[in-house]
């Protein structure tokens, strides 16, 4: 006889509740450890969820390339090559959901646009 439980068995409700509780506990523990790390001055990578998209631009900056958050006057970071800037900006866009990444040409015109949803 097969000892595995099937979907919809009597224990599913209590298992699901225990899993949700475990997930909430893990989220609370992760949040507490991030707060402690920030208080200690340690940089922590995290995903930021927004109600409207963050728009990141990869654009020329003289002979180099910058990443700028739309609406900011100063660049977030400057790179020697466009490829480095695009790779870094993609990582930022994945951590700031929802977001858009706008990649510009050397002349400043828009070359490509990518959307990242939550």
Domain coordinates of the chain in residue numbers?
Answer: 9-44, 48-116
Tokens of 86: 């695009």
Task: Please give the structure tokens belonging to residue 46.
Answer: 């995290």
Look at the pTM and tell me if it is higher than 0.85.
Answer: no
pLDDT, residue 27, reads 59
| Regions of the chain with pLDDT less than 50 | 1-9
- pLDDT on residue 5: 46
Q: For residues 45 and 75, give the distance between their C-alpha atoms in angstroms, rounded to a whole number.
A: 20
Strands 48-61 and 64-69: antiparallel
E strand segments, 1-118:
48-61, 64-69, 77-79, 96-104, 110-116
The SS3 assignment for 103 reads strand
């Amino acid at each position: 006889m097969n000892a595995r439980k099937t979907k919809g068995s009597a224990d599913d409700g209590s298992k699901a509740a225990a899993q949700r509780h475990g997930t909430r506990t893990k989220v609370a523990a992760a949040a507490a450890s991030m707060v402690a790390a920030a208080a200690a001055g340690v940089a922590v990578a995290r995903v930021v969820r927004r109600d409207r998209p963050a728009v990141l631009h990869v654009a020329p900056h003289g002979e180099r390339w910058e990443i700028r958050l739309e609406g900011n006057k100063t660049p977030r970071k400057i790179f020697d090559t466009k490829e480095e800037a695009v790779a870094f900006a993609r990582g930022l866009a994945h951590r700031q959901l929802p977001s858009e990444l706008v990649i510009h040409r050397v002349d400043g015109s828009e070359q490509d646009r990518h959307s990242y949803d939550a």
